[in-house]
Structure 1
Amino acid sequence: MLPFKPRAVVPTAAHPVPGGVFPPPPAASLLLQSLPPPECFHGPHVIIDKFMELMRHIKLPDKPVGEENGKDGDYRLDPGTRLSLEIASGARKRKITENESDEEDTEISLSAPVNDIYRARQQKKVIK
């Protein structure tokens, strides 16, 4: 006799008796619950023999490597990252030459344009 477990939604041809499925044994059920979903098992897979051979021949240092805390060492930023950091920190995009002066920057008005709908709506909300 086949084990039978009634189900509301049954996959097609899951069990010879209509309306049921074959449940796995309790030990297999626990294993299936502890495994990750099937989408996790798409390659690339590790060749265990080669991995074990690599781990067997690896040379580990006797003492930990002496690195000073908080230092990553000498590193160089790529130009895009450097530009992003300069913009975020407020640094100038261009260097001031002898012919230029800083007076141009002081003339720039930081007030909002007259037709700025977003700020006008914000002011209406604040006033209420």
Structure 2
Amino acid sequence: RAWPGAPRPAMADALLPERALDGDPVARATLQERVALPLQAAGGEVLETVRAVLASGGNLEASARALFVHPNTVRYRLRRATEITGVSATDPRGGWTVQVALTLAALDQDRSLWH
């Protein structure tokens, strides 16, 4: 019910964001290992670009202006992010997946500072 348009039957990996948000620790760890950590390891420019694209609602030109780069640079970095994670941040479902993964990673990082 969390993803009304999900294919039936849905593979468990297709529902990683929903499962992670529902408290599934395996889904949460898998999302971070497959998406957030590789993006963080790719370097600041790739991660910064993905975040800018998500913040702009997928508008590549607005993202390029915010980053002070050419739109083709944004496209190149997004291709790199997709190669690294297997998830396209410009696809609505992919963007949701990346956003959830990055948010959960940030929350876990903050939580580790508290303990």
If the length of structure 2 is used for normalisation, what is the TM-score?
0.20
If the length of structure 1 is used for normalisation, what is the TM-score?
0.19
Question: Highest relative contact order (Cα 8 Å, sep 6+), 1 or 2?
Answer: 2
Query: Which structure's CA Rg is the greater one?
Result: 1
Which of the two has greater helix per residue? 2
